[in-house]
Amino acid sequence: MKSLNVFFLNLTVQILDFSYKGRDYQRFWVLEEIARAPYFAFLSVLHFRESMGLRGTDHLQLMRQHFEQSANETDHLEYMESKGGNLYFIDRFVAKHLVLIYYWVNVVYYWLAPKFAYHLTYEVEIHAASTYAKYLAEHGPNEKILEILNDELEHSRELQNAMQLVG
């Protein structure tokens, strides 16, 4: 399951990297738009589980964490928007359709196999952090991008911890 996660992630990244060559902020915006969807999906499933009387011991901690993460991802998205990341119709069109699919994939995945759903998002966060690190290496210092990079690393650590809680 974990290698399947990595396989699909690498494939998607290769497609995005190819189609967004030289358009960094548009690529970052699409990535941020998609990468935040799992947190909404996790929250939706946790809410639903709660309503069904299936609240586990770490339920509240996970809810708080995913809410924090999703708010933090909105901050990232707003920065990319301030840089013109969502200026073009085609980018918005691609992102909104991908996110619709990705949200529901995560709802089902998290319901059936939370540990592996966390692992997929963990890999996405690691990819995001390395994408921003590469950008900084190529374009020099940028305080906001560095801050976002550190946020993604923090998210990946939190997801690693969440994997243990549900595993």
What string marks each residue from 101 to 140 as x (binds Fe ion by CB under 5 A) or -? ------------------------x---------------
Size of the site for Fe ion (CB under 5 A): 6
State the Cα–Cα distance between residues 142 and 139, nearest whole angstrom.
8
Minimum distance from CB of 10 to Fe ion (Å)?
18
The conformation of residue 21, written as its DSSP 8-state character, comes to: T
Nearer to Fe ion, 24 or 73 (CB): 73
Q: Mark the segment that binds Fe ion (CB under 5 A) among 43-51, 89-97, 137-145, 151-159.
A: 151-159
Residue 88 Ramachandran class (φ > 0 left, ψ -120 to 50 alpha, else beta): beta
Smallest distance, Fe ion to C-beta of residue 15, A: 19
Pick the closer one to Fe ion by CB: 45 or 77. 77
73 binds Fe ion (CB under 5 A): yes
For residue 167, the tally of other CB atoms under 10 A from its CB is 10
Taking the C-alpha atoms of residue 95 and residue 93, their distance in angstroms, rounded to an integer, is 6
Q: 132-144 burial string, b = 16+ CB within 10 Å, else e?
A: beebeeeeeeeee
Q: How far is CA 96 from CA 56, 103, 123, 130, in A?
A: 32, 10, 21, 24
Is residue 152 at the binding interface for Fe ion, with CB under 5 A as the rule?
yes
* Residue closer to Fe ion (CB basis): 24 or 152: 152
Nearer to Fe ion, 29 or 109 (CB): 29
Q: How many angstroms separate the CA atoms of 100 and 165, rounded?
A: 28
Q: Does 33 bind Fe ion (CB under 5 A)?
A: no
| Site residues, Fe ion (CB under 5 A) | 32, 73, 76, 125, 152, 155
